[in-house]
Amino acid sequence: MLSTGLPREKQVARWGLWALAVALLAACADIRDPSLVTTADRCGDHTRIWFDDDSAELSDISQRFLDGLVPIWRAGRASLKLVGHADVAGKPDRDRALSRARAESLKAYLQRNGLDAGSILVEARGNAERLVGSGGGPNQRVEVHILKFAARPPC
């Protein structure tokens, strides 16, 4: 590790954040499918995974996107918060249940791929936080927030 004049703990933390940023960019650059743009994206401090109308099933494209991120989150012992959302097509109780099912579907996928269930929190917001008026599309999502990322130092 290069000497930056910082204590070793801060150098490791800085290296971890830098490695995460590079890996996230590489994960996105490796995906050649242009339809991914409508399936998942990164928005500042979180990642969004999109879902089809009235569905809590992860698409193949979303799974490929996540396959690039899961090893990074696993190596960094990430703690995540999954926040499910829905559009306003159904009744509020139904939308809340669908948004929870979407977040739980994503949690199950992450667990099957090696993330610890105890490090994943799930919330359901129903249709309370829409990105657009009453339409589906952007409202049908799960937002993945990284609560903690403790990167391991290089060997």
**Residue 68: what are its φ and ψ, rounded to 5°?**
-80, -25
Q: For residue range 51-110, list pLDDT tens digits in order.
A: 888 889 998 888 988 998 899 888 888 899 999 998 877 788 998 999 999 999 999 999
Annotated domain spans of the chain: 8-148
Distance CA 148, CA 31 (A): 26
The pair phi, psi for residue 77, each rounded to 5°, is: 50, 50
Angle of CA points 95, 101, 107, to nearest 5°: 140
Could you report the per-residue pLDDT of 6-50, keeping only the tens digit for each?
555 544 444 455 455 545 544 444 333 333 333 444 445 678 888
Architecture of the CATH domain 8-148: 2-Layer Sandwich (3.30)
pTM greater than 0.85: no
Q: Which two tokens stand for residue 18?
A: 């830098």
Query: Is 20 strand, coil or helix?
Result: helix
